[in-house]
Amino acid sequence: MELLRKLEQKENFTERECEIADYILRNCESVLKMTTRELASETFTSATVIVRFVKKIGYEGFQDFKLHLLVDLKESQFERVEVERKEHILSLMNKISSLHEKSLFETKEMLSTETLEKIQAAFQKYNVVDFFGFDANRAIGEYASHNFTQAGVSSNVYAAVDKILLYEYYVKRSVVIVISRMGTDEHICRALSNLHKKDHFIICITGNGQAPIAKYADAVLLCAYKENVIQLGDAMFHTSVSYILDLLVSILLRNNYDRALQLYQRHGELFYE
């Protein structure tokens, strides 16, 4: 990552060199395919200026520069993403893209087809899919509940402690999806310990592999998560959970294909009456 950091930091760069660096940061993939003359044309400089620039920052020539750029780009896909004080906006753009790619990659790697098939069987058995989640997780649950309803099942979000604790008295049979970063909330654990003994299928979506709620779950889906605001841990978790929920609703849609189409058409009829 040394080359990209040099371009971002622009230490002792002239105004022209800053412009060259900014162009490269915005067009890294394209620069890898360019000659010195092509890069010079795009930056309104000359081939001599480009060669002098890459030598100034420590490379033998343009080919050596491109080789290090390629290595840095590959490493940057899964580097530790962390916001720095007064960081350049272009750098933040690259980091956020990397964060989402990294989150999706890590989440997919942690998924098991065996677990997903188990969840698919539960979707075929139950026609109610409800969500437990507090604060930001409630918002994610609301979005997912909307999608699950469109896919043909009854779905609600429970975000109040009293309703979660009394859920077993409201609903007798269901799939319960719990969204929790660390999975340590005592009230949710207490509710799940009772639901686990009854006719409910419990799915826990969490960023903590040792989450206490997991021992009550029929299926655990792990998310990418860092408990650090500077490392954008919440953004990583949100991306990871959204991917998992989109995957689950896709499985449900596949199971309820005809019903989902009928509901969609009926919704349109009612909306435009």
Length of the chain: 273
Q: Which domains does the chain have, with CATH numbers?
A: 2-76 (1.10.10.10), 107-271 (3.40.50.10490)
Angle at 42 (CA atoms; ends 39, 44), nearest 5 degrees: 100
pTM of the predicted model over 0.75: no
d(CA 50, CA 37): 8
Burial of 11 (0-12, 13-18, 19+ CB in 10 A): exposed
Model pLDDT for residues 101-117, shown as the tens digit of each residue: 888 988 998 899 999 99
Model pLDDT for residues 143-181, shown as the tens digit of each residue: 999 999 988 899 999 999 999 999 999 999 999 999 999
Strands 174-180 and 200-206, sheet pairing: parallel
Using alpha carbons, list the distances in angstroms from residue 6 to 16, 42, 56, 80, 203: 15, 20, 11, 17, 45
Quickly list H helices, 77-160: 89-110, 113-125, 136-150
